[in-house]
């Protein structure tokens, strides 16, 4: 019998299971607190649980705990990139960023990705599998424990497309924000999507207070198609409309991510067209000079081009920031840590 993944369960599900083992319901509260509040890495840490129950749990359940394979620390800004191994040997990466407003962890939602964005390293080898809620949670738990500091913000912007793993993502968010668990504020969670329209609509209906970030990266359908195959399925205006709806239903301001690629989408005319495309949406644009990936030949625009682009958008009254590059000295683009590691393993 496959062991049960109890870290993916809410307190009610845990209680039902413990009662089925003949335990009292209050045990669920204790064990839930060990898992999600104290973030125990093993059943043995649960000191107020009887030996018998611990044995029962060990025999029938798994306490999914990621194994830290490597960590790289930036000397410039304290950013830390973690590579974790899952129980089946797959690897995922997560990043801790230290900001004035608190510590933020960027997590992966899938091992690999099937979206195929042209500039992204995470998708080069396709999707391996979805991560479970417990595997998403444990990236945050392990990092908070390793850093010895409270993590206050979580961004789902690592490897994978979160809205391609919708059910698990939702469970993860509910557990992460549970007041009896780590209790991260919904407002401090950002989910980034390449634009899976039906699931953006579903997410809007959940009425969560999380921030939705849309990876737009283009100002026309044609330009977006050249960078993001997902545009074949969902046309750019459909995606932008889904953002408009998300704001209307949740009151949460949208973030548009726009990777600037030299000679592809960085001209002033692109900025003007972008401003027109998103006009009237309560939003914020985050400009990200593209991070070069060695398998592709995309280049970052000159800093002066980036600034021009920002100024142009601002002239249209749009809120813009240029993303501060964190951990410049420790690695390249998203997904490169995991990919670099598996390639080096392959060479051995
Ligand atoms: N699948 C989700 C989340 C993961 S990617 C999404 O598409 O939003 C997180 C962000 O990093 C996205 O905006 C993605 O387009 C961007 N990104 C990926 N590779 C990049 C690169 N090489 N340079 C700059 N941004 C990149």
pLDDT for the residue numbered 336: 64
Write the Ramachandran bin of 232: left for phi over 0, alpha for psi from -120 to 50, otherwise beta: alpha
From CA 41, how far away is CA 255, in angstroms rounded?
35
117 CA distance to ligand 1 middle (Å): 8
Pick the CATH number of 4-62 from 3.40.47.10, 2.60.120.380, 1.10.10.410, 1.10.150.530: 1.10.150.530
Q: Global pTM?
A: 0.96
Structural domain spans, the chain: 4-62, 67-347
CB 309 within 8 A of CB 60: no
Q: Is 93 an annotated catalytic residue?
A: yes
334 lines ligand 1 (CB under 6 A): yes
Answer yes or no: is the C-beta of 288 below 6 A from any ligand 1 atom: yes
pLDDT at position 6 is 98
Return the residue whose CA atom lies nearest to atom 4 of ligand 1.
157
Identical fold between 4-62 and 67-347: no
Q: Which one of 93, 117, 159, 323 would you pick to mutate in the ligand 1 pocket, going by the greatest count of ligand atoms within 8 A of its CB? A: 117
Mean pLDDT in runs of 10 for the chain (348 residues)? 96 98 96 98 96 96 98 92 97 95 97 96 95 98 97 97 98 98 98 98 96 98 98 98 98 98 96 98 96 88 96 97 80 62 54
Query: Are 34 and 40 spatial neighbours (Cβ–Cβ below 8 Å)?
Result: yes
Q: What is the pLDDT of residue 330?
A: 79
Substitution candidate for ligand 1 out of 158, 259, 297 with most atoms within 8 A of CB? 259
Ligand 1: centre distance to CA 280 (Å): 25
User: What DSSP string runs through 22-77?
Assistant: T--THHHHHHHIIIIIS--SSGGG-TTS-HHHHHHHHHHEE---PEEEEEEE-TTT
Closest ligand 1 atom, residue 159 Cα: 4
CATH topology of domain 67-347: TIM Barrel (3.20.20)
- How much is the pLDDT for 293? 86
Spatial contact of 138 and 103, defined as CB atoms under 8 Å apart: no
Note the pLDDT of residue 347.
40
CB atoms within 10 A of CB 98: 16
Atom of ligand 1 nearest to the CA of 160: 1
Catalytic residue among 15, 23, 80, 93: 93
Provide the token pair at 319.
């809120």
């Amino acid at each position: 019998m496959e062991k049960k993944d109890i870290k993916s369960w809410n307190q009610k599900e845990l209680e039902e299971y413990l009662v089925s083992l003949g335990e009292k319901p209050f045990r669920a509260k204790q064990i839930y607190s060990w898992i999600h509040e104290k973030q125990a890495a093993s059943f043995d840490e649960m000191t107020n649980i009887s030996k018998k129950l611990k044995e029962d749990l060990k025999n029938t359940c798994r306490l999914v705990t990621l194994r830290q394979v490597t960590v790289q620390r930036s000397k410039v800004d304290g950013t830390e990139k973690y590579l974790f191994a899952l129980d089946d040997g797959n690897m995922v990466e997560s990043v801790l960023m230290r900001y004035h407003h608190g510590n933020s962890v960027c997590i992966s939602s899938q091992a690999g990705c099937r979206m195929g964005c042209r500039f992204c390293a995470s998708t080069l080898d396709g999707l391996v599998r979805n991560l479970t809620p417990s595997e998403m949670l444990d990236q945050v738990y392990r990092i908070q424990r390793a850093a010895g500091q409270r993590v206050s913000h979580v961004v789902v912007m690592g490897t994978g497309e979160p809205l391609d793993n919708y059910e698990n993502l939702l469970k993860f968010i509910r557990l992460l924000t549970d007041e009896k668990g780590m209790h991260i504020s919904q407002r401090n969670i950002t989910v980034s999507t390449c634009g899976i329209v039906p699931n953006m609509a579903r997410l809007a209906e959940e009425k969560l207070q999380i921030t939705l970030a849309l990876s737009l990266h283009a100002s026309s359908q044609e330009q977006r198609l050249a960078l993001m195959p997902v545009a074949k399925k969902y046309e750019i205006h459909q995606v932008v409309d889904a953002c408009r709806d998300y704001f209307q239903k949740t009151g949460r301001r949208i973030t548009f991510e726009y990777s600037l690629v030299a000679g592809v989408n960085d001209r002033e005319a692109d900025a003007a067209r972008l401003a027109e495309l998103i006009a009237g949406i309560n939003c914020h644009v985050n400009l990200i000079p593209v991070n070069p990936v060695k398998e592709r030949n995309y280049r970052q625009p000159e800093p002066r081009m980036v600034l021009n682009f920002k100024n142009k958008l601002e002239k249209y009254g749009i809120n813009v920031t240029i993303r501060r590059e964190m951990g410049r000295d420790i690695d390249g683009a998203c997904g490169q840590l995991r990919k670099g590691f598996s390639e080096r393993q392959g060479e051995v």
